[in-house]
Structure 1
Amino acid sequence: MSVCAVAVATGVAVLSLHVLHRLFFPFFLKDLLFLLKVLRYGAQLELSGVTRTVRTVLQRFIQQAQRVPDKPFIIYDGRVHTYRDVDARSNKLAHVFRDSVGLRRGACVALLMSNEPDFVCAWLGLSKAGCSVAFLNINIRTKGLLHCFHCCGASTIVIGADMVECLEPILSSLLEDDIQVWVMKAHSDHPQVHTLLDKLESASDQPVPAALHATSSLRAPTLYIFTSGTTGLPKAAVITHLQSLKAAAGFWAFGAKSDDVVYIPLPLYHSAASLIGVGGTIHLGATCVLKKKFSASQFWQDCRTHNVTIFQYIGELCRYLCNQPQTDMEKVHKVRMGVGNGLRQDVWREFLSRFGNIKMCEVYGSTEGNLCFMNHIGKIGAVGRSNFFYRLLFKYDLVKFDMVMDDLVKDQRGFCQHVETGHTGLLLSKVSSTSPFFGYVGSKHLTERKILRNVLVKGDAYFNTGDLMVEDHQGFIYFRDRVGDTFRWKGENVATTEVSEALGLVDFIQEVNVYGVEVPDHEGRAGMAAITLRPGFTFDGRKLFHHAVRELPAYARPLFIRLQEEMEITSTFKQQKFQLVQSGFNPSTISDPLYVVDNDQRSYVPLTADKYSTIICGNHKL
């Protein structure tokens, strides 16, 4: 065969392979490189636990403070806090926690603070003192807040200066239980609320003994982060060093570098901002811009001022940005990447069209879950990516689920059934030694409720995500809906049982069935409650409004009320939610009386056709 013929044959073969690759395996190389990168990191973590003292996020921070002491770590409200600054202040706090507060290694401390540098300093300071830390949701009030505090077993609570008022309704209960209350202030109006800032002045900024925070196990708990669950009040998810380290590598896995500037507008009491945001900044040795609250009008100016390159988001945040008036400066910035979850396809496309070629990296996973999907390709609408290699290493299944019966579909042997590719199924993640589920602190019962057993074969165990998902023929994962007793609104998980229990305390309510309904141009589902009235009572919208404000965080308060003669139930005597969800809140198609929250009137008022139209058109703020 001539040289020319060989060259032609080789060219045809290469071209054929290229065509086959493009047609059938278009993401093979990207998948392989991404997976190898992540697996190498995971192997290093596991190896460190075997060969030497485990390296934690805290130790990584101490290392960065020694390596780049003068580099900005946190930029907040125009002020720069270097790695050296935060290291020194957290050292001072560690000494105060030990010497003045009397904390010892192994203690659990609850942290109730809004976004500010001292949240991070207190977190690191407590960790340096050898304590585990429970992050409390600052939106939770009274009964819920007291429950969160007690279930994590904390003996001390540290609160921000702006949180004192929130704590007042339960302060006497805490003091009766001999709980120490410490506030980030120099002076206190309450003799039994102790102050921290005045004690920092004389505290040493030298490191506490490393033995206090050393650990020999990746699986040792370091944090407790609360998640709304199906059983009512929030549950404290156990966060181990292993989970913290994996989350901290998220930005790095997507290609972030040490010279990146990360914008964190999400609340630090959630794992996204604390573990991925702050933890990821520490992992890289990068800089983060911390915001007390997200502001759509200030966002792009902040990004330009601080040369932000990466920002964290939830879907609502991007929608708020798209709803801002267009300007000539929209594409004048250095942002190249967004990392978050819950971004709808339509908002995703509009966001890229308006603000430029920004790589949006969706991450799927729950705080306590043992499975994570990452959309490293950037496929619009997908929450994650799977492939042949991923399935070998991380065992998950999509199984059939009956939305009407609110139950799994099983075969004659009592096992679950796989869904076909492209069909919706309930996502389950296998629990094993390599994919452990650490559960919730203080409740084996709640932990066990999240585990399904004998799913596909006798003796297996799966973590129930509660999410209906679809996997397409290319391996992209798409979120479809929540099942059971939770839904998502305003970036928060709402537990319908918790809301039902709170509303059930109102004197005129007989029964409550809480569920989420879709509202056009809004992410997640808005809370709606179907209620029946006690005999002899009438509906009082004003009383219900004030009760909801007092007992529930803003995101959990029902926006719509539906009065029913009797509560519908399934054949298995569960409350019927599916039909209610499907019927929505349109007064022209629902004969039952409907009400909508009116914050101006501080009441639930009749939902008329006109009011419905203003909601659908986006003129009524929800």
Structure 2
Amino acid sequence: MNWRLLWEDLRELPVLFRLGRALQRCGPEGRETLGVLAREQAERFGDRIFLRFERETVTFAEYNQEVNRWAWLLRQAGVSPAEPVAILMENSPAFLFAEGAVAKCGAIGALLNTHLRAEPLAHVLRISGARHVLVDQACLPALVELPEAAQYTIWALGDPAELPPHVEPLESALAAAETREPPLPDVRGKHVFLYIYTSGTTGFPKAAIVRHARFMMGGLGLSALLGIGREDVVYAPLPLYHGESNFVGFAVALRAGAGFASRRRFSASAFLDDVRRHGATAFVYVGELCRYLLRQPPRAEDRQHRLRLAVGAGLRPDIWEAFQQRFGIARIVEMYGATEGNIALINLRGRVGSVGRAHPFQHHRYKLARYDVERGELVRGADGFLVECDVGEPGELLGRITRSGPMPYDGYTDRDASERKVVRDAFERGDAYFRSGDLLRRDADYYYYFVDRIGDTFRWKGENVSTQEVALILNRAPGVSETNVYGVTVPGHDGRAGMAAVVLFPGASFDGRRFYETAEELPSYARPLFVRLVPEMDVTGTLKQRKLELQRQGFDPSQITDPLYIRDDNLRTYVPLTADVYEAILRGERKL
């Protein structure tokens, strides 16, 4: 028996016991939704400030009134229960009014990525099935430019006199709407509440299904596990169309009766000013947000704030302790999950670098299965079943799909896409597991550590190269703020050679010799062959690094205007990659 594992599980049981009865209200047959909770919290907290957006504040009572106003508008527009309604807005109180109104109508909110344009935007609208689109002034131009825009009823914020002829004026319609409670349809936790779209880093975005139960359980569970109470203010500056800010920030604050703060767009330079102005005690991070904060010039007042908690996903081990020490944040809680999946890990004990562990006595629901990077497939043994990884061995993280599990697998609106994320007859006949698409490893205490995204790991010189692990080392090089590692095809060579897109700190210059010395900490096959200096990293709206376009562009100096370098093992440095060197590589005259 693993006594340390048992002890960790027992330490967390009291919180889960306290949640047990309350979770029943949020279960598949429960009637508690965002709409119900908005009304209850308005009755409970009334004039207490709930939303804090830049210079604007909204009380709990005002929030519920505005939600009612938007809900009446949707009802009068003919929106029926289970009907999708698209929301295309930057972070604002209006976004959250619209989301709450969808819940009170029993409709489905399709939360569209505000960075999408042209065909990607048209695609997510089509697959949403929405007839109505709620849009703000900032996003309206991209919407009305679509050839099919006239097919939708578009409700837009802004001066009615300046709106295009076929756009409905949202503000005047809301002014005429009622604020009393609308009749609530028979909506249960099992019914669909939201469509959250994938980032689209590997193709057009897919719509992940989020049911009321998942949204409500997230707010209830995390508020207790994180210790969020009425005196707290949770700051989440990244897009609300993404699950992290919405579920870990907004839902938690509403449940706890706490304040929720945000801004239209994330700003690293304004972060601490926002935190101080709003009196934030916790903040939600995603992706490389913490790295961008560290990149800001140090200031004497970096620790002058009320923050005691940072919670989110994507804090890299190479900056974890430096970030915590510089800003004086007492507790960091790293999590791992997927909106469409059934896996939830949480690192409540602050184990540096870990994305977390399963909830108590739920470890059997998750498996790490051996994965063949070269073949691009899970490994099956002689018995035909998947091979479970040993402690410390990287493998794909899988979550068992069962009818009675605490977190169901809902997948996407596209059934074929949902089925592609499932592996069947995995460890026994008839079983089924959700495929995370990520490689992780696990220690003896059942804490998991992110290794790489499947598809990012590549083969070179007959060995597997984890882009994440290489980047963690390269980020230590003098002057380097951030690296994005990927594999590129080299004519005449098997596999893919390592290449690193590098962002330098302001005022720093690239030192090829020092970078080479840092890369020597890696195995020879993992050291990047090429380096590309980029002014800023190409990231998604949630600050996740993009790789596909970098891979496509390769290392051709005639096609890339950024400075390029190649590793020179004889000189023990990185030297400029010229057109002559490039041609020598293509002719096979340069040893790689």
Q: By the TM > 0.5 criterion, same fold?
A: yes
The 5 Å alignment of 1:272-287 reads 272-287=244-259
Determine if contact 1:595/1:605 at 8 Å carries over to the other structure. no
For residue 117 of structure 1, report the CA deviation from its aligned partner: 0.7
SS in structure 2 at match of 1:330? coil
Determine if contact 2:486/2:498 at 8 Å carries over to the other structure. no
For residue 524 of structure 1, report the CA deviation from its aligned partner: 9.3
For residue 201 of structure 1, report the CA deviation from its aligned partner: 1.8
| Correspondence for 1:61 | 38
| Correspondence for 1:205 | 179
Following the alignment from structure 1 to structure 2, what is the Cα–Cα distance between the partners of residues 164 and 364?
34
What one-letter code is carried by the residue in structure 2 that aligns with 1:200? Answer: L
Determine if contact 1:422/1:472 at 8 Å carries over to the other structure. yes
Following the alignment from structure 2 to structure 1, what is the Cα–Cα distance between the partners of residues 527 and 144?
41
User: Which runs of no fewer than 5 residues in structure 2 stay unpaired?
Assistant: 459-465, 501-525, 533-550, 568-572, 577-592
For residue 38 of structure 1, report the CA deviation from its aligned partner: 3.0
What one-letter code is carried by the residue in structure 2 that aligns with 1:38? Answer: L
Following the alignment from structure 1 to structure 2, what is the Cα–Cα distance between the partners of residues 278 and 193?
30
| Correspondence for 1:181 | 154
| Correspondence for 1:75 | 52
**TM-score (norm. length: structure 1):** 0.75
Determine if contact 1:186/1:198 at 8 Å carries over to the other structure. no
> Residues 606, 371 of structure 1: CA spacing in aligned structure 2 closer, same or farther, 3 A cutoff?
closer
| Correspondence for 1:109 | 85
SS in structure 2 at match of 1:384? coil
SS in structure 1 at match of 2:339? coil
For residue 206 of structure 1, report the CA deviation from its aligned partner: 1.1
| Correspondence for 2:585 | none
Following the alignment from structure 1 to structure 2, what is the Cα–Cα distance between the partners of residues 146 and 289?
31
Determine if contact 2:248/2:284 at 8 Å carries over to the other structure. no
What one-letter code is carried by the residue in structure 2 that aligns with 1:174? Answer: A
Query: Are residues 1:586 and 2:527 paired?
Result: no
What one-letter code is carried by the residue in structure 2 that aligns with 1:84? Answer: A
What one-letter code is carried by the residue in structure 1 that aligns with 2:227? Answer: G
| Correspondence for 2:105 | 129
Following the alignment from structure 1 to structure 2, what is the Cα–Cα distance between the partners of residues 523 and 132?
41
Query: Are residues 1:608 and 2:564 paired?
Result: yes
Following the alignment from structure 1 to structure 2, what is the Cα–Cα distance between the partners of residues 232 and 39?
42
Determine if contact 1:225/1:269 at 8 Å carries over to the other structure. yes
| Correspondence for 2:434 | 463
> Residues 463, 311 of structure 1: CA spacing in aligned structure 2 closer, same or farther, 3 A cutoff?
same
Query: Are residues 1:450 and 2:421 paired?
Result: yes
SS in structure 2 at match of 1:350? helix
> Residues 352, 48 of structure 1: CA spacing in aligned structure 2 closer, same or farther, 3 A cutoff?
closer
Following the alignment from structure 2 to structure 1, what is the Cα–Cα distance between the partners of residues 566 and 391?
43
2:23 aligned residue (38, 45, 52): 45
1:340 aligned residue (283, 307, 312): 312
Query: Are residues 1:221 and 2:221 paired?
Result: no
Q: Deviations over 1:5-44 (max 9, x none)?
A: xxxxxxxxxxxxxxxx9xx856755532424423553554
2:286 aligned residue (306, 314, 317): 314
For residue 278 of structure 1, report the CA deviation from its aligned partner: 0.8
Following the alignment from structure 1 to structure 2, what is the Cα–Cα distance between the partners of residues 584 and 452?
33
Determine if contact 1:73/1:286 at 8 Å carries over to the other structure. yes
| Correspondence for 2:273 | 301
What one-letter code is carried by the residue in structure 2 that aligns with 1:281? Answer: A
Determine if contact 2:531/2:565 at 8 Å carries over to the other structure. yes
Query: Are residues 1:403 and 2:373 paired?
Result: yes
Following the alignment from structure 2 to structure 1, what is the Cα–Cα distance between the partners of residues 400 and 351?
26
1:426 aligned residue (396, 411, 421): 396
For residue 608 of structure 1, report the CA deviation from its aligned partner: 3.0
Q: Deviations over 1:427-480 (max 9, x none)?
A: 111000114211111x21111000000111111100000111111112211111
Determine if contact 1:370/1:431 at 8 Å carries over to the other structure. yes
| Correspondence for 1:162 | 138
Compare 30-39 and 125-134 and name the one that shifted more: 30-39
| Correspondence for 2:523 | none
What one-letter code is carried by the residue in structure 1 that aligns with 2:148? Answer: S
For residue 139 of structure 1, report the CA deviation from its aligned partner: 1.1
Following the alignment from structure 2 to structure 1, what is the Cα–Cα distance between the partners of residues 103 and 457?
32
| Correspondence for 2:548 | none
Determine if contact 2:53/2:93 at 8 Å carries over to the other structure. yes
> Residues 608, 391 of structure 1: CA spacing in aligned structure 2 closer, same or farther, 3 A cutoff?
closer
Following the alignment from structure 2 to structure 1, what is the Cα–Cα distance between the partners of residues 11 and 531?
53
Determine if contact 1:403/1:578 at 8 Å carries over to the other structure. no
What one-letter code is carried by the residue in structure 2 that aligns with 1:61? Answer: A
1:95 aligned residue (72, 81, 93): 72
| Correspondence for 2:386 | 416
**TM-score (norm. length: structure 2):** 0.79
Determine if contact 1:267/1:273 at 8 Å carries over to the other structure. yes
Determine if contact 1:316/1:523 at 8 Å carries over to the other structure. no
The 5 Å alignment of 1:200-599 reads 200-210=174-184, 212=185, 214-215=186-187, 217-228=188-199, 232-249=203-220, 250-386=222-358, 389-392=361-364, 395-433=365-403, 434=405, 435-441=407-413, 443-484=414-455, 520-521=474-475, 526=484, 584=528, 586=530, 594-595=555-556
| Correspondence for 1:34 | 12
SS in structure 2 at match of 1:65? helix
For residue 301 of structure 1, report the CA deviation from its aligned partner: 2.3
Following the alignment from structure 2 to structure 1, what is the Cα–Cα distance between the partners of residues 152 and 350?
48
Following the alignment from structure 2 to structure 1, what is the Cα–Cα distance between the partners of residues 339 and 70?
27
Determine if contact 1:311/1:339 at 8 Å carries over to the other structure. yes
What one-letter code is carried by the residue in structure 2 that aligns with 1:126? Answer: V
Following the alignment from structure 1 to structure 2, what is the Cα–Cα distance between the partners of residues 95 and 439?
31
1:192 aligned residue (152, 166, 181): 166
Q: Deviations over 1:361-388 (max 9, x none)?
A: 0111011110100101111111002487
Following the alignment from structure 1 to structure 2, what is the Cα–Cα distance between the partners of residues 200 and 251?
32
Following the alignment from structure 1 to structure 2, what is the Cα–Cα distance between the partners of residues 247 and 180?
32
For residue 578 of structure 1, report the CA deviation from its aligned partner: 8.1
For residue 123 of structure 1, report the CA deviation from its aligned partner: 1.1
SS in structure 1 at match of 2:216? helix
SS in structure 1 at match of 2:561? strand
Following the alignment from structure 1 to structure 2, what is the Cα–Cα distance between the partners of residues 77 and 181?
27
Following the alignment from structure 1 to structure 2, what is the Cα–Cα distance between the partners of residues 134 and 340?
23
What one-letter code is carried by the residue in structure 1 that aligns with 2:555? Answer: L
For residue 251 of structure 1, report the CA deviation from its aligned partner: 3.2
Determine if contact 1:315/1:523 at 8 Å carries over to the other structure. no
Determine if contact 1:399/1:425 at 8 Å carries over to the other structure. yes
SS in structure 1 at match of 2:12? helix
> Residues 409, 156 of structure 1: CA spacing in aligned structure 2 closer, same or farther, 3 A cutoff?
same
Following the alignment from structure 1 to structure 2, what is the Cα–Cα distance between the partners of residues 593 and 388?
46
Q: Deviations over 1:486-541 (max 9, x none)?
A: 99xxxxxxxxxxxxxxxxxxxxxxxxxxx9786543899748695xxxxxxxxxxx
Following the alignment from structure 1 to structure 2, what is the Cα–Cα distance between the partners of residues 486 and 279?
35
Percent identical among aligned pairs is: 30
Question: What is the count of residue pairs matched by the alignment?
Answer: 509
Determine if contact 1:342/1:523 at 8 Å carries over to the other structure. no
> Residues 134, 613 of structure 1: CA spacing in aligned structure 2 closer, same or farther, 3 A cutoff?
farther
